[in-house]
Amino acid sequence: MSLNRLKNRALRVPAGLFVAGLLVSWLTGCGDKATSPIKPVPLTLVAQGVGGTAHRYPAAAGSTLMASTAATDTIPVTFTKALLVVRDVRLVLPEAIEAGDDSEDVADSLDVEDGDEDAQGQVRFRGPFVLDLLSGHAARLDTMMVQPGDYARVQGHLQALHAGDPDAADFPGLVGYTVWLEGTIDGDGGGPFSFLVRIDNEFQIRGAFHVAAATPATAFVTFDVSKWLQDANGHFLDPRVLENEQAIQSAIRHSIKVGMDDDHDGSIDDRMHGEDGE
């Protein structure tokens, strides 16, 4: 037998074995695709003030303020300024909550750059964000790449503006404070007011916040300014009275709600969730 014939015989592969090899190769490729990680999607965080600027609050029993119209017992209030500082906003996956990794101490100890999803099942939008809640438009705060899925909680911090923060030069009167609310109380005993307060507090909103795969999403955070000067019973909290400061701080925190626009059509896809479970 010639050398060429030996070479040709050595190169021949049975047809069945060749087909089987292709099948194994194809199945292996499919397996790689099936186990490949889900690609992150862009999530935009949007904040907006709601509730308008003019409000009428029921007067509490024994209130020294009288409405401008004797036929009513409500206090007319008009807001001219409503600034709020949000230090950060985080979306938390259920596994992070189950593992106990969503605590404030753990989150604050993480050294995560903007745009990164941390290893604890959370994604964090870092501020500080100074929000003008009377501007009448939604403010796009940031866009990050996040893992699709059902997030079980949105939480964040209301904290004071620091002198070294990027927005401090634009809002010098807000440095050292978290809230700056100005307006006018109408009627007998009313007048202009300016309410500046430092809040160092965390808000936590539970719900099902769905981020779909392969689709840009938007998270809406709203602040209902109309709720800021009313107590748990809906009665007016005079911002000029020092004893009302703690109740106003609580009202501000409970005015926050979150909703998702996972199909990016500009509208909320489900009901808004608040800290009180609404």
DSSP conformation letters of 216-259: -EEEEEEEEGGGTTB-TTS-B--TT-GGGHHHHHHHHHTTEEEE
Place of tokens 């501000």: 252
Residue type, 107: A
Query: How far apart are alpha carbons 199 and 201 in whole angstroms?
Result: 6
pLDDT of residue 95: 80
* Cis preceding-peptide flag for 128 (omega within 30 of 0): yes
pTM for this one? 0.78
Query: How far apart are alpha carbons 217 and 263 in whole angstroms?
Result: 6
- Pick from 236, 239, 275: which is nearest to 254 by CA? 275
Strand pairing report for 139-146 and 41-50:
antiparallel
Provide the β-strand partners of residue 141: none
pLDDT of residue 187: 84
Which residues, other chains included, contact 173 with Cβ-Cβ below 8 Å and sequence gap of 6+?
A: 180, 196
pLDDT of residue 262: 66
Mean pLDDT per block of 10 residues along the chain (278 residues) reads 41 44 46 64 94 92 61 86 97 78 42 43 92 92 93 94 95 97 92 96 91 90 96 94 95 93 70 71
SS3 annotation, 130-158: EEECCCCCCEEEEEEEECCEEEEEEEEEE
Provide the β-strand partners of residue 218: 44, 261
Other Cβ atoms closer than 10 A to 106: 15
Residue 135 near residue 225 (C-beta atoms within 8 A)? no
Give the CA dihedral 264, 152, 207, 216, nearest 10 degrees: 0
